[in-house]
Chains A and B, each alone.
Chain A
């Protein structure tokens, strides 16, 4: 068969199939993330102090700049401000909220870094960098990041 013949095949020659790639990760949390998610189960958020005194939230096991092991977990607030965000107009399966929402970096009060989470808001016009947001806790916490159901705009029902 010649190439022109082969490539002249109409699109019905082209096969398609659904392909799902799944990884059933079963992860150990370690001493720092384990404490973080355990605290979430108790509706408390923990950060960790790095070697320069900044509070990193979510906490990490090693200093992001020096690599030194970190040991001083500290409690941070359940409200903070948006440092960056993006609107998700079309929700996909598996996303934390099944309505259009913002994905945002949120610096919690008492922390010096930002946490990635979702903000339940009526539309992109109601979201802004610098806006205050507060945690809405899941009804039945399990010890996971999803114990924070989402953030909502502070001072206004969203």
Chain B
């Protein structure tokens, strides 16, 4: 793991620091090159299984289909499915294809990206409510300036090339606006 010091900003480089601390008295000579920072990488390695319901969802993504599952009590469709309804606690009984068109329910302009797949900043991360679903999927916006994104905006996913499709959320490269009228915010209540 490498760190580019030129891109690093730290408290100690601010004129006064974020707050002042007393300088301790030191009983031994520490020389003229004290340690001021440390690179401390932390890493956790998992053998991850998403469970059967989310496995079905990921296999659907490999076919460019967004598959939710329906709560038997409320009839709402949850995506990605976890096998049980988060509202009733009952097992979901029916697989339902949702989207691919969706509506932005919330978004954030990101100025400090991290991770190997982060787009160039500033970019917009957002929650996308696929048509027919009760809850939103996380993703990023493309093909639009960051300051033109709106809640209620209609969007569609942009998929990776067919040859690159896998059982992964990364099949959706990003979402882009489509030429449809915005959905009024009142209609998005409860679906954030």
Contacts and interface: CB of A to CB of B under 8 A. Distances in A.
Contacts of A21: 43-44, 46
Contacts of A39: 26, 28, 30
B22 A31 contact: yes
Interface in B17-40: 21-31, 34-40
A25 B95 contact: no
B48 A26 contact: no
Contact of A44 (B28, B39, B58): B28
Contacts of B31: 38, 42
A13 interface: yes
Contact of A24 (B21, B41, B58, B93): B41
29 contacts: A1-B95, A2-B93, A2-B94, A18-B47, A20-B43, A20-B46, A21-B44, A21-B46, A23-B41, A24-B39, A25-B39, A25-B41, A26-B8, A27-B37, A27-B38, A28-B11, A28-B12, A28-B36, A29-B36, A35-B34, A37-B38, A41-B35, A42-B28, A42-B31, A46-B28, A70-B24, A71-B22, A74-B27, A144-B35
A38 B29 CA distance: 10
Contact of B24 (A3, A15, A72, A93): A72
Given A3-B93, A15-B167, A22-B43, A9 B52 contact: yes
Interface of A: 1-3, 6-7, 9, 13-32, 34-35, 37-39, 41-42, 44, 46, 48, 59, 61, 69-75, 93-94, 143-144
Interface of B: 1-3, 8, 10-12, 21-31, 34-56, 58-59, 83, 91-95, 167
Contacts of A24: 1-3, 39, 41
Nearest to B10: A28
Nearest to B40: A25
Contacts of A44: 28
Given A21-B43, A35-B26, A6 B10 contact: no
A28 to B, nearest CB: 5
A38 B35 CA distance: 5
Nearest to B59: A15
A31 B94 CA distance: 60
A42 B54 CA distance: 53
B4 to A, nearest CB: 10
A59 B47 CA distance: 37
Contacts of A13: 52, 55-56
B42 A22 contact: yes
